[in-house]
Structure 1
């Protein structure tokens, strides 16, 4: 019996115990090297998913509900300005009988360049850009051709080009710029006293068209008004028959020199902000306009853009409904500093407001 007992004890000590110990060590190793890292990885992955997917998704969903509330509130604030400030402005009872020739019907001897409130369009050549219903609502800012805008009364054009001389708006491209120039020349040939500011610029993210300055002077040379700091106080009767102030804004090419046929970016300024909130845009416009030099001392054109920009974090990204949020108004204290008023989807009322204010200025209605 002792023999078998000793044999059993020896088997336990030499086989069973080491096997159990090995199994326990293996289990601890598996826990330490496999299970624990796996649990840690799963926990870290879960935290990453929460941080990088769920939290941003929740925040995005929240903005989809909050942004419309913000828009409604800001529209209400602008609407409340009408009862508090009134909707009347100098010249609001004047309506041009011929918008195509509205400058000609004012006194050209009294109408100095710096007294004109010039109606302008934003992204003027975007009619028909993009694919209908798909990308067009994201990039089309005007539904009239450049010629139709000029006939309506527009006098400041914002034309954006890319390297191949095609019109573009961000990544959307359209027709060759020749069509724009032809529209401008057609309008000039049909009128005698209308002066235009033609802003040509290379669109953001694109390269300059080669030798574009030469192209512009060749196409428009007979109409171009040479850069002159003394021009702003001159009456139109002394500026005519030249008709076009062409401002060329390249991104990398040399900019136009002072005294040349093309004007550089120093002569057309604005303070654009990227927002789709109407009250925020209105406040920014008025705050920047207030600090501009007085018109008699100003030696550049200053533009107020009455536009909003669709934002990716908003459920409404089409240009037209976003534009409709902002009201076409200017704070009473800034009327005497307004020079270029620009908009998307220009219409007769917008033009008439600018022309009426111009009429009031030359007839003593605005000091």
Structure 2
């Protein structure tokens, strides 16, 4: 099955699909510096927690490969890399994949074998350690997404096992597919796997206001791959569950995550919390699909998650290509339109936190985590090394 590709990379060269132009145009931006990567991430030309981490890591890898580092000692080389990574970390602070990738990269450069080497060779060893680790982040993400799809589809099939081939419908929020990752996706990856196994009746996607990642991106991916799907506004979910839930066998809401903290509280695109409340009221499973790189064991509860706030114009204005009288889209002409009083006060958090009490399962590439008898999530089984390190520090 053909999938969209958000990131194209070969050593020294990074191209990122400009998602602000979708679904009308396919345009790849050349990313050659950390500044360009920061702007690409901050402007949401690329988005999705895994993709953000990958673009940041690979942008600096390309930068280093192309000779940006002019330091004279190993210590200066590591300090230079640290400073660039710390800068990139500020592009989207809520997404823990980015900070986890940065921590991994910092460890890698310090573990480079440089004993007995003169500076030019030591510097090359440090840069190679960084570049190879960044490239490994890209490769492992695709493997992780495929595993998440398999574990998620398997768990949902177990929950609806009245017959082995019973199909279910699901709803997803925001975009968690190939455009948000290196490929296949997390929550949308579960939907893809259900579809490939003949277990998906229908997929519903929300528009995901105010940035419309669902209507612009998720619906585009679903149509592109021929998956039966319907787009709804964010405010229609409750009515959908009440009116069509039984007839369409709506069995789950599946979302991604920008951060899952130690107790299972989850930060995801604004509107996720509302869907979790509605799903619980209607007896529908609420599933978070995320790689272990999105799990933050240091932060104990959702109260400790920094929530990014976006600019006011995202709520008061909308822009896009012009639609001609015959219904065709003219990508050569764009317009910005006011959709609210331009002086109204605006509150525009990019994410909200869904409490663990409303989450039925968290699907990772290592397996599916469900709450124990005590009502708590235990990540020690899917993250044994990080869990042991955390316990050791306690």
State the TM-score, normalized to the length of structure 1: 0.29
RCO greater where, 1 or 2, for CA within 8 Å and sep 6 or more? Answer: 1
Q: Between Structure 1 and Structure 2, which shows a larger proportion of helix residues?
A: 1
